[in-house]
Chains A and B, each alone.
Chain A
Amino acid sequence: GDSVTQMEGPVTLSEEAFLTINCTYTATGYPSLFWYVQYPGEGLQLLLKATKADDKGSNKGFEATYRKETTSFHLEKGSVQVSDSAVYFCALIDTGRRALTFGSGTRLQVQP
């Protein structure tokens, strides 16, 4: 079945540091890939997505590239801010499926 594996957290960085959160997936079809973010006290919200191989999703300075050859969708940001502190979830929806499959989430803590 479909699955998503994320690096375990928490990830603790200083402000302006470079961020990478690794995500790899297993799917039987041609999935679309997503990153969702959950800020403290808020519901999950879509951060970015990519629907086919080699697509790059980007939003709020975050980027992720759909790599079919390595079945990966790593999240990156060049310079993190304290306000980026949140839990980040990688997810996919496979061909013909109705529901997203989520990873376990990675907590990011950015210190001033």
Chain B
Amino acid sequence: GAGVSQSPSNKVTEKGKDVELRCDPISGHTALYWYRQSLGQGLEFLIYFQGNSAPDKSGLPSDRFSAERTGGSVSTLTIQRTQQEDSAVYLCASSLISRNTGELFFGEGSRLTVL
């Protein structure tokens, strides 16, 4: 498709289970971001990938969170042993230019609910 695609759009899981969220960026975009949007909160930066460089993981809230980007394209965000406070909308964004000018293209998000 033409835009950033995320799946699943909704995920309900039980506390303690692992979840994987997928992001398919716009073709040719070298930069990929994961953000988290909790109820009433702003977007919280999680992780950033740029080309073949080491990812910037400075926003990951705990070691239960990890992400990878295979072949410079699709990315997977994994949350292990989910907790109720992990409930949020997880947003993926991509951008074309290596030097970030701030214009990101966002997907519609994956809404995670941990029971």
Contacts and interface: CB of A to CB of B under 8 A. Distances in A.
Interface of A: 4, 32, 34, 41-46, 49, 51, 89, 91, 93, 97-105
Contacts, number: 58
B56 A98 contact: yes
Nearest to B56: A98
B43 interface: yes
Contacts of A100: 43, 45, 102, 104
Interface residues of B, number: 25
Contacts of B3: 43
Interface of B: 3-4, 33, 35, 40-43, 45, 48, 50, 56, 59, 91, 93, 100-109
Contacts of B103: 46, 49
A34 B108 contact: no
A92 to B, nearest CB: 8
B48 to A, nearest CB: 5
